């Protein structure tokens, strides 16, 4: 089986089989080289606007401190869509939210450049510090306050990243959806290493929320909001947080579009990525035809490096464009995306 190089960014691809090619990167590289830019909202691509010599516009970001149900003070940064005019005109309901989840012993600061890049493309970006990391280390208890240290977290705390931290993030998205700033029903989650495990387990939790929903009304939909996931250097099990249960749960395995990115010069990381890809491949047959890239729902991108996790965000790999193109194809251009229109959602805990 022959490999072919798709981009100057170092992504090598294997046509078909377990190494399905991220041709997305090639498309983005070609488009960018012609002076065009990818779009987040599915409009026809237009020539990139000339840069403002006076400097870029001020960055829009909001640092927040939320509280989980078990008392953790959860720090996150919210980057609303850079299309401020559209938000003012009430068009934020078309905005796709993207949650970025960092790796172990890292923080939301590792995603600043990616968050700003995605924000400028029109996405709403939410970046939390998972418990024990960054600004999310203090937990208020009934009798005393605890300080959580990432290096000393017990396995149970990694599970709480899903059931507590991400539940709080979901509540935040719920509020912003009802404020007309974004469409929670087109949610994409990006996770690196530990964050990849949290992302998939959150997708499972989100799907189960809807399975348990007893009210068959669209405005009372409680879950299955996650429609796309990007896994950067994922592992089958990270410190007591395995992903197999999530990966084989039918609504996750079958109905969510998946992109896996890994540095292929690390044999162990590549093997893990391929095994995870194989789990999903059973439910994502490779399409045929001239438009197969627009209908493909599972991708494995092997980058020509030994770097892993958020280190793959090095500008030479152009991951913001790759991720944006994947999201645009799956959450804007696809036939399924037409069914995920904005609705005001009733809060599940009221």
pLDDT tens figures, 220-264: 899 999 999 999 999 999 988 999 999 999 999 999 999 999 999
Superfamily in which the 4-38+59-333 domain is placed by CATH: Alpha/Beta hydrolase fold, catalytic domain (3.40.50.1820)
Flag whether pLDDT at 59 surpasses 80.
no
- What are the residue ranges spanned by the domains of the chain? 4-38+59-333
Give me the torsion for CA of 95, 133, 317, 30, rounded to 10°.
0
pLDDT of residue 341: 93
Question: What is the average per-residue pLDDT within 290-295?
Answer: 88
- Within 8 A by CB and 6+ apart from 144, the residues are none
% of the chain exceeding 70 in pLDDT: 79
pLDDT of residue 218: 78
State which H helix or E strand residue 237 sits in.
strand 237-238
Question: What is the average per-residue pLDDT within 43-59?
Answer: 43
> What span, in angstroms and rounded, lies between the C-alpha atoms of 119 and 254?
29
CB atoms inside a 10 Å sphere around CB 263: 22
User: 170-186 pLDDT, tens per residue?
Assistant: 999 999 999 999 999 99
> What span, in angstroms and rounded, lies between the C-alpha atoms of 210 and 203?
11
> What span, in angstroms and rounded, lies between the C-alpha atoms of 221 and 185?
10
Confidence at 85, pLDDT banded by 50, 70, 90: low
- The answer to whether the CB of 29 falls within 8 A of the CB of 301 is no
pLDDT of residue 219: 81
- Within 8 A by CB and 6+ apart from 33, the residues are none
Please choose, from the candidates 294, 273, 295, the residue with its C-alpha nearest in 3D space to the C-alpha of residue 284: 295
User: 88-114 pLDDT, tens per residue?
Assistant: 555 689 999 999 999 999 999 999 999
Please choose, from the candidates 14, 41, 13, 34, the residue with its C-alpha nearest in 3D space to the C-alpha of residue 25: 13
Confidence at 140, pLDDT banded by 50, 70, 90: confident
pLDDT of residue 347: 72
Please choose, from the candidates 115, 116, 140, the residue with its C-alpha nearest in 3D space to the C-alpha of residue 128: 115
- Within 8 A by CB and 6+ apart from 92, the residues are 80, 81, 83, 86, 124, 180, 181, 182
Phi, psi of 288 (to 5 degrees): -125, 170
């Amino acid at each position: 089986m022959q490999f072919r190089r798709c981009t100057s960014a170092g992504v090598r691809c294997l046509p078909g089989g377990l190494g399905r090619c991220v041709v997305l990167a090639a498309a983005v590289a070609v488009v960018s080289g012609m002076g065009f830019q990818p779009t987040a909202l599915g409009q026809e691509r237009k020539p990139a606007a000339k840069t403002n010599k006076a400097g870029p516009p001020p960055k829009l970001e909001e640092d927040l401190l939320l509280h989980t149900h078990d008392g953790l003070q959860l720090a996150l940064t919210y980057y609303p869509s850079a299309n401020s005019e559209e938000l003012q005109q009430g068009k934020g309901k078309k905005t796709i939210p993207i949650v970025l989840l960092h790796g172990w012993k890292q923080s939301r600061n590792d995603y600043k450049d990616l968050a700003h890049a995605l924000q400028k493309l029109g996405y709403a970006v939410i970046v939390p510090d998972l418990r024990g990391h960054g600004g999310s280390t203090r937990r208020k208890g009934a009798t005393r306050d605890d300080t959580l240290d990432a290096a000393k977290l017990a396995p149970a705390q990694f599970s709480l990243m899903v059931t507590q931290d991400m539940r709080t993030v979901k509540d935040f998205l719920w509020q912003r959806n009802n404020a007309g700033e974004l469409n929670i029903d087109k949610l994409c989650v990006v996770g690196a290493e530990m964050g990849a495990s949290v992302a998939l387990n959150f997708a499972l939790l989100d799907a189960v929320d809807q399975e348990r929903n007893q009210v068959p009304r669209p405005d009372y939909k409680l879950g299955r909001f996650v429609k796309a996931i990007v896994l950067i250097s994922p592992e089958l099990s990270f410190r007591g947080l395995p992903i197999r249960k999530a990966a084989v749960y039918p609504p996750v395995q079958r109905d969510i579009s998946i992109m896996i990115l890994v540095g292929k010069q690390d044999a162990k990381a590549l093997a893990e990525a391929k095994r995870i890809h194989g789990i999903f491949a059973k439910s994502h047959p490779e399409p045929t035809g001239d438009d197969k890239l627009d209908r493909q729902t599972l991708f494995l991108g092997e980058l020509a490096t030994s770097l892993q996790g958020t280190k793959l965000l090095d500008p030479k790999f152009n991951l913001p464009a790759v991720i944006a193109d994947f999201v645009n194809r799956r959450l804007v251009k696809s036939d399924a995306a037409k069914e995920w229109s904005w609705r005001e959602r009733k809060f599940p805990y009221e």
